[in-house]
Amino acid sequence: MSVKSNETKILRKLDLTRLPNHIAIIMDGNGRWATRRGLPRSYGHKAGCENLKKIIINLSDLGIKNASFFAFSTENWKRPQDEIDSIFNSVREYLHEDSHVLIERGIKLTYIGDLKRLPTDLVDAFKRVMEETKDCNKMTLNLAINYSGREEIVRAANKAITNGKQITVEDFDKLLDLPEMPAPDFVIRTSGEQRLSNFMLYQMAYSELFFTKVLWPSFTNKDLQKALINFQHRERRFGGLK
C-alpha cells in the first residue's frame, strides 16, 4: 500500500469536527535519533527542526487552532554550549526562512518563556516574525524556548504581588505569559519518556496526555493522526460525572 493511501485511510477514522482546540507537543528524542545513526546530537536537532516545520503544516492542514511546541527548557542550559548553539541555530534558520509560510497560511507566531537569556539576534528574529504575523487568525503557533512552567507560575505570582491584592484562579489565568491562549486539551510527548519536564504545568491541569516511543525527528503525520484518533476516544469528565 502506498504511503499516501495509508494516510488517507487513517484520516478517514479521524473526526475533523472533534479536534483538540490546543495541542501541545514536547518534542523529545532528537539526541537519541542522532546517536542511533552514529551522528552528532546537533544533527538530531536539525532533523527535529525539519520535522517541526512539517508537523506545523500538517496541523494547519487539519485546521488545528492552537499549537504549542516545547523546544528548549530552562534546564536545557545544563547542556554543552555547542549543542545549545545548534538548537538556537535551527530555530534561527526556521524564523528567517519560513516566516512567509506562516503568513501565507494565516499562522500567528507567539512566544512563551523568558526571552531575556536568549541571543539578541534570536530575540530580534522572534519579535520580527511575531510582528509580521500578528494579524494572522487561522492558527496560533506558540514556541516555548527558555521556558519553565514553574517560572511562568512565579512570574504570574509576582505580577499579582505587584498588583497588591488577593486574586482568584480566573484572575491568575490572566497573569500567565499568554493569557489569551486556551489551556492545551491534548499533550503529546515523543521518545518514550513519561513526564512533563516542566512544560505548561499550570495549564495542563486537565490536559489529556499521550506518550509515544517514536523519537521526535521520526514522528510523522501518520503518528500525529493516530494520536489524535486516540484523543477522540478519551472521555473527559473534568471531575464531573459522565
Contact region for ligand IPE (CB under 6 A) — 59-67, 70-78, 90-98, 132-140?
Answer: 70-78
Decide if residue 43 touches ligand IPE (CB under 6 A).
no
From 51, 61, 76, 146, active-site residue: 76
Stretch that binds ligand IPE, among 22-30, 123-131, 148-156, 227-235 (CB under 6 A): 22-30
Q: How far apart are CA 22 and CA 17, in angstroms?
A: 14
Q: How far is the CB of 165 from Mg ion (least distance, A)?
A: 41
Question: Which one from 6, 15, 21, 28 is the annotated catalytic residue?
Answer: 28
Q: Using the rule CB under 6 A, is 142 a contact of ligand IPE?
A: no
User: Which of Mg ion, ligand IPE, none is residue 65 near (CB under 5 to 8 Å by kind)?
Assistant: none
Q: Is 28 in the site for Mg ion (CB under 5 A)?
A: yes
d(CA 36, CA 41): 10
3-class secondary structure for 86-125? HHHHHHHHHHHHHHHHHHHHCEEEEEECCHHHCCHHHHHH
Of 70 and 126, CB closest to Mg ion: 70
* Cell numbers representing residue 152 in the block: 511562568
Helical residues (DSSP H) of the chain, grouped into ranges: 3-13, 30-35, 41-62, 81-105, 120-132, 149-163, 169-173, 221-232
Q: Exposed (0-12), middle (13-18) or buried (19+): which is 31, by Cβ within 10 Å?
A: buried
Largest separation between any pair of C-alpha atoms in the chain: 64
- Phi, psi (deg, nearest 5) at residue 134: -60, -25
| φ, ψ at 106 (rounded to 5°) | 70, 35
Cβ-based neighbour number of residue 225 at 10 Å: 19
Window contacting ligand IPE (CB under 6 A); options: 97-105, 164-172, 190-198, 204-212: 190-198
28 an active-site residue?
yes
Count residues contacting Mg ion (CB under 5 A)?
1
Binder of ligand IPE out of 42, 51, 60, 73 (CB under 6 A): 73
Per CB under 5 A, 177 contacts Mg ion: no
Residue that has been written with the C-alpha cell 542522532 in this structure: 34
Least distance to ligand IPE, CB of residue 197, Å:
4
Of 24, 30, 67, 95, the residue at the interface with ligand IPE (CB under 6 A) is 30
Name the one range near ligand IPE by CB under 6 A: 1-9, 26-34, 55-63, 100-108.
26-34
237 DSSP assignment: -
Enumerate the active-site residues: 28, 76
Interface residue list for ligand IPE (CB under 6 A): 26-32, 70-73, 76, 87, 191, 193, 195, 197
Chain residues in the site for Mg ion (CB under 5 A): 28
